[in-house]
A and B are shown apart, each in its own frame.
Chain A
Amino acid sequence: MIPAAFDYVRAESVDHAVALLGEHGDDAKLIAGGHSLLPMMKLRLAFPSVLVDVRTIAEASYVRVDGDVVAVGALTRHRDLVTSDVLRTEAPLISMAAAYVGDPQIRNRGTIGGSLAHADPAADLPAAVLASDATLVVQCADGRREIASGEFFTGYFETALDDSEMLVEIRVPRTGSNGAHYEKFTRRANDWAIVGVATVAGRVALANMGSAPLRATAVEAALAEGASVDDAAALAAENTSPVADMNADAVYRKHLARVLTRRALSAAVGV
């Protein structure tokens, strides 16, 4: 219920945050909305000795068109992703997925950067970002680098970020308001996805079908070759090894992936 003790520093800017990370190494964690990190700290599953609070770095929260992408600041809150007119018209999958994160109170604090860095394979935004083929911009002491979403999620709650880096921006290809859908299967509305399917522009990403969100490449290839939605969706579980948990065993998960992919694709093409 009570986190272990830690020191707390408020970062004034992204550069400041990165500098603090460099100073404290793996003793430090960034905290923004805190709604992924604090729950773990309260159960003492995580116990960083330094928290670097980046939540109030105003410069890191924005949604704007930048050429052929929508640039989303990592500190943009879920609630702002949901209501953003820019996202809803240019890259709606992100808005759609954000609407399913947690509940209204959680969406008032949680940020897209926090969610992606946390990398829960059952979370909504990682799958949406993966399906969007977004690029993630990361800052470290030496400057910025870009990581393709396909390379960002490396494992179970693991990303390509190292301890001294901060995710600062998500660059989402503009797709217009057609062809996007997020299908989330839960027992209760505010649960994590038992299986989630995010699709846009013929790309499909699956939540909770493995230790990280993953692209349903067999589905995508079939679609690209002109297969029907039904035939393509039937391949959704190819190359997946989903875990069994109290909600679903592997066989049922694979079945759900196929059904939900078919439904997501049908909805995305407006069928």
Chain B
Amino acid sequence: MTTSAPETESPRGSILGTRVQRLEDPEFLTTGAVYTEDLVDERLAGALRLTVVRSPIAHARIVAIDTTAAREAPGCVAVFTADELADPVDQRPPLPVYPAEMGQPLLAKGVVRFVGEPVVAVLTDERYQGEDAAELVDIEYDPLPAVVDPKDAERNETLLFPELGTNVCFASRPPDTPPPDVFADCEVVVTQEIMNQRVAVAPLEVRAGAAVWGDDGRVTAWIPNQGAQGTQGALARMLGVPVEQVRIITPAVGGAFGAKFGADPEHALVVLLARKLDRPVTWVESRSENMVAMTHGRAQVQTVTIGGTRDGRVTAYRLHVLQDSGAYPKFGGLLPTLTLMMAPAVYDIEHLQTSFVSVVTNTTPVGAYRGAGRPEATAAIERAIDMFAAEIGKDPAEVRRMNLLPAFTEPIRSKGGASYDSGDYQLALDTVLEAADYATLRAEQAARRERGETTQLGIGLSVYVEITGGGDESGPPKENATIEVHSDGSATILTGTSPHGQGHATVWAMLASEETGIPMERISVKWGDTDLVPEGGGTGGSRSLQQGGAAVRQASRELVDIAKAIAADKLEVSVDDLVVDHETAGLAVRGVPGSGVRFAELATEQELKVRSVFSAPGPTYPFGAHLAVAEVDVETGKARLVKLFALDDAGTVMNPLIAEGQRHGGLAQGAAQALLEEVLFDEDGNPTTNTLASYPIVSATELPSFDLVTTETPTPYNPLGAKGIGEAGTIGSTPAVQNAVIDAVAHLGVRHIDMPTSPMRVWTALNKELN
């Protein structure tokens, strides 16, 4: 199925599928976009500044808090502890699957459970006074043993919530009968424990918030987020106020990657304190706070077992996930359900067994991070396939080829319970192997091995499928869009998505322009204000184009239909005689030049506005194959990513410029996890990577330019034929890069290296083999 240009008066090329530069950029590149910290708004005049005092210890009873000196600090207007925040707040966890007792309070009450947990709120007139006053808060802690490793947490010796008797916050149901030993008949069985390490999300913009209550009893809150409606609902629930009382406005957001959904305790504090003090309150955290108090990503201990025949046919795969949820379970504790569903990935495996346990630990809570559960699934099985291939002495590309699901254009049900919509994994693998000139790479590798060179070459593969645009607890996936044409010829789109770099203002304008002929530059797209757009699913899970974009197209088409009905009446012709005239941005009578009426004209006589909801039958499944080339210095263990070939098929591409940008970003974060990044805590739960100096966030010097290959296998699930692309890069690249580094030293006996494949890790693995 292809997207065809709507019927028009004269033949024209479609704007869709072309590299249109972004409408957002002129502002971004001259005055900068307006982020929450930049807000200058009369409603925030005289705002108090919130500074949060955070726990310096991972697990302790709070013995005493002395705020006397802080209250006397210059500019200090108020100081609050949990006891003083007497307002009733719903402090249950954000998801109902967890025990109710595991919710994070706005301010710690009696006990702190992770370094960075908010304990005291300090409000000052000026920003610079905040840290001065906060420093003077004196808190006495009585340390408790801290449990940091999720494997230790599972033993339930140190409990974060003693009244629950367990650290388990969520787990798969054990099977009713003992599962069969599906590996009994396998000629070859490989088992490995794999770390999918904790990483920091680290968007360039940290968290922030500003709030003011009006005389009408409503609060207006500016919060960088990934979905204003979700943030509104979260705050309303936390503060026990009706949703209608809360208005969220979303300024420009400086990156989110999954960690800016809903509302954090600090956001609720901003709103609550603005009401208590009857003054606007603003808050911007420091990066050091962000590194310990914004949710982290990944953090799974995976146990994989893979078995099959000696000639390469995989018949059984088992994955057990131990998820570290951090001190208070958020999205992270739930993500293994996605990992398990996507566990079999692209492979045709007869027997699949999966299970998971999510536990709390005295560390930063774990949330969603680009891919959110799916990179973990692909990383596990791609490692398993490589290890299986190494065990039987076969080329890993060949083993993949032998086990991939055959191509399909009608939905198929995976062993994990997912309904893959369309895919050709074989083509993806073959295409990326050809693009990378696989045979030449292997020959080069062999030559260097032969020569015993210090710098060895490694080739790493992954083939992946990923789930995008799933629905939520309210039902199947859907999104709304409103389009209104104004009498001056401009148009406004309201969308329920929430872009933070993905270019919706451009692509939604492209889609509407395509349908109506209204020039893109005259179409403005709005989002993120719950008074304007009361419903919406936000932006995450790579849902926006396939649902939000589809909604824009649908609303535009409905607007054209309504306009046709009006114009038919007005011009006394049949609706069927009318066609969209892109030259004039209106309707024309077929075959009668100069006969038509512009949409703008029609808008002078009546409102020309349509709200439409697009419902998708279900999530879509983009797929691809990545090939990484790494060099490893076998003397030092240092690995360098030389090349990264990425084939990502997300169906029909609306704007290749933007789609490629999304892929680049995902590839970089995926490669970063494989090579560099890891959040570390010492055994007492103290974070040791809590600044951008100590946390090795990937910079330009560690990455090559990427080699992108594109195929388009449309989905039947929306008229655009589009699947989601935002997270795909992360899913394929992480295992490809990890596999490449291990492959570089496999001839020296190394069979596995956990991520990140730091120089010391690689060298240690090499040394173990050489000794």
Q: How far is the CA of A248 from the CA of B676 in the complex (A)?
A: 14
Q: Which residue of A lies closest to B127 (CB)?
A: A2
Q: How far is the CA of A4 from the CA of B689 in the complex (A)?
A: 24
Could you tell me the distance in whole angstroms from the C-beta of B602 to the nearest C-beta in chain A?
54
Contact between A185 and B636, CB atoms less than 8 A apart: yes
Which one of B287, B696, B760 lies within 8 Å of A248 (CB-CB)?
A: B760
Q: How far is the CA of A2 from the CA of B688 in the complex (A)?
A: 21
Contact between B636 and A188, CB atoms less than 8 A apart: no
Contact between B638 and A185, CB atoms less than 8 A apart: yes
Contacts of A260 in B (CB 8 A): 636
- Asked whether B28 is an interface residue with its Cβ less than 8 Å from the other chain, the reply is no
Could you tell me the distance in whole angstroms from the C-beta of B718 to the nearest C-beta in chain A?
41
Could you tell me the distance in whole angstroms from the C-beta of B284 to the nearest C-beta in chain A?
9
Contacts of B694 in A (CB 8 A): 246
Q: How far is the CA of A43 from the CA of B635 in the complex (A)?
A: 37
Contact between B638 and A252, CB atoms less than 8 A apart: no
Contacts of A39 in B (CB 8 A): 693
Contact between B696 and A187, CB atoms less than 8 A apart: yes
Contacts of B680 in A (CB 8 A): 246
Contact between A2 and B128, CB atoms less than 8 A apart: yes
Contact between A249 and B635, CB atoms less than 8 A apart: no
Contact between A252 and B699, CB atoms less than 8 A apart: no
Q: How far is the CA of A249 from the CA of B636 in the complex (A)?
A: 13
Contact between A187 and B758, CB atoms less than 8 A apart: yes
Which one of B131, B638, B699, B764 lies within 8 Å of A190 (CB-CB)?
A: B699
Q: How far is the CA of A189 from the CA of B701 in the complex (A)?
A: 6
Q: How far is the CA of A255 from the CA of B762 in the complex (A)?
A: 13
Q: How far is the CA of A48 from the CA of B281 in the complex (A)?
A: 31
Q: How far is the CA of A188 from the CA of B701 in the complex (A)?
A: 7
Q: How far is the CA of A252 from the CA of B693 in the complex (A)?
A: 22
How many chain B residues touch A (Cβ–Cβ < 8 Å)? 29
Q: How far is the CA of A185 from the CA of B694 in the complex (A)?
A: 16
Contact between B676 and A188, CB atoms less than 8 A apart: yes
Q: Which residue of A lies closest to B130 (CB)?
A: A2
How many chain A residues touch B (Cβ–Cβ < 8 Å)? 23
Contacts of B763 in A (CB 8 A): 252, 255
Which one of A43, A190, A248 lies within 8 Å of B701 (CB-CB)?
A: A190
Q: Which residue of B lies closest to A1 (CB)?
A: B286
> Hey, what's the 0/1 contact readout for A227-271 against B, CB within 8 Å counting as 1?
000000000000000000011110010011001100000000000
- Asked whether B87 is an interface residue with its Cβ less than 8 Å from the other chain, the reply is no
Contacts of A4 in B (CB 8 A): 132, 135
Which one of A188, A191, A252 lies within 8 Å of B764 (CB-CB)?
A: A252
Contact between A188 and B696, CB atoms less than 8 A apart: yes
Could you tell me the distance in whole angstroms from the C-beta of A12 to the nearest C-beta in chain B?
29
- Asked whether A16 is an interface residue with its Cβ less than 8 Å from the other chain, the reply is no
Contact between A246 and B689, CB atoms less than 8 A apart: yes
Q: Which residue of B lies closest to A262 (CB)?
A: B635
- Asked whether B759 is an interface residue with its Cβ less than 8 Å from the other chain, the reply is yes
Q: Which residue of A lies closest to B633 (CB)?
A: A259
Contacts of B759 in A (CB 8 A): 185, 187, 194, 247-248, 252
- Asked whether B10 is an interface residue with its Cβ less than 8 Å from the other chain, the reply is no
Q: How far is the CA of A188 from the CA of B758 in the complex (A)?
A: 11
> For chain A residues 183-201, which have a beta carbon within 8 Å of chain B?
185, 187-191, 194
In this complex, the member of A1, A4, A39, A256 whose beta carbon has the largest number of chain B beta carbons within 10 angstroms is A1
Could you tell me the distance in whole angstroms from the C-beta of A38 to the nearest C-beta in chain B?
13
Contacts of A188 in B (CB 8 A): 676, 696, 698-699, 701-702
Could you tell me the distance in whole angstroms from the C-beta of A251 to the nearest C-beta in chain B?
9
Q: Which residue of A lies closest to B639 (CB)?
A: A187
- Asked whether A144 is an interface residue with its Cβ less than 8 Å from the other chain, the reply is no
Q: How far is the CA of A43 from the CA of B691 in the complex (A)?
A: 10
Q: Which residue of A lies closest to B675 (CB)?
A: A187
Q: Which residue of A lies closest to B697 (CB)?
A: A188
- Asked whether A145 is an interface residue with its Cβ less than 8 Å from the other chain, the reply is no
Could you tell me the distance in whole angstroms from the C-beta of B88 to the nearest C-beta in chain A?
33
Q: Which residue of A lies closest to B286 (CB)?
A: A1
Q: A44-B135, A259-B635 are in contact. List 8 more A-B contacts (CB 8 A).
A: A1-B288, A2-B132, A39-B693, A43-B691, A44-B131, A187-B758, A246-B694, A252-B760
**30 A-B pairs (CB sep. < 8 Å):** A1-B287, A2-B127, A2-B128, A4-B135, A43-B288, A43-B691, A44-B131, A44-B135, A187-B638, A187-B696, A187-B702, A187-B758, A187-B759, A188-B676, A188-B696, A188-B698, A189-B699, A189-B701, A246-B680, A246-B689, A246-B694, A247-B758, A247-B760, A248-B759, A248-B760, A249-B760, A252-B759, A252-B763, A255-B763, A256-B636
4 nearest A-B residue pairs (beta carbon): A189-B701, A1-B286, A2-B131, A252-B760
